[in-house]
Amino acid sequence: METTIEKVIYLQRIEMFADIPTEQLAHVAGIAWGVRFDAGEVIYSEGDPSDALYLLVDGDIKVTREGKVTRKIEVGEAFGIWGFFDRNPRLFTSEVLKESYLLKIQSDDFYDLIEDRVRLSRGLIKYLVGKIRQLIEETDILI
């Protein structure tokens, strides 16, 4: 996945970018870089700086906290999102289970991009509010 068009088509399938117009996604695709990881490699660890978010294109990733698996990342899923936006240290460790290909978006590049793109910002706000609402609903069910 090297061309901007391939990246845009891929980004359109990601929940986080679902409400963002195609022309805006082309800008996001321009700052998304393909990276490969081998099985056993750590993408980031608990306590690391949150300087990027990742999109799993192919492979298997597990997420752990304090050594316990909390979830597995599905192909087509974004991860490292919360730290990406709040810039706090990572709360989780992400480790590659089998060779994986990801798109990586650096937070500094992303913030530069959204400064002048209101439609892009609106789509992301809608996504984040939806995730917060989902977390609240799940918490209420557990109480």
> What domain count does the chain have?
1
> pLDDT per residue over 91-100, tens digit each?
999 999 999 9
> pLDDT per residue over 5-29, tens digit each?
999 999 998 888 887 888 888 988 9
> pLDDT per residue over 56-69, tens digit each?
999 999 999 998 99
CATH number at residue 22: 2.60.120.10
Provide mean pLDDT across the span 79-83: 86
What 3-state DSSP class applies to 62? strand
Question: 74 and 13 in contact (C-beta within 8 Å)?
Answer: no
Domain, as residue range, for 80: 4-142
Q: Which of the residue ranges 33-37, 65-69, 85-89 would you say has the lowest mean pLDDT?
A: 85-89
- For β-strands 42-44 and 68-73, DSSP reports them as unpaired
Question: 78 and 127 in contact (C-beta within 8 Å)?
Answer: no
CA distances from 35 to 29, 57, 86 (A): 14, 10, 23
Q: Where does the pLDDT of residue 47 fall: very low under 50, low under 70, confident under 90, or very high at 90 and above? A: very high
Model-level pTM? Answer: 0.79
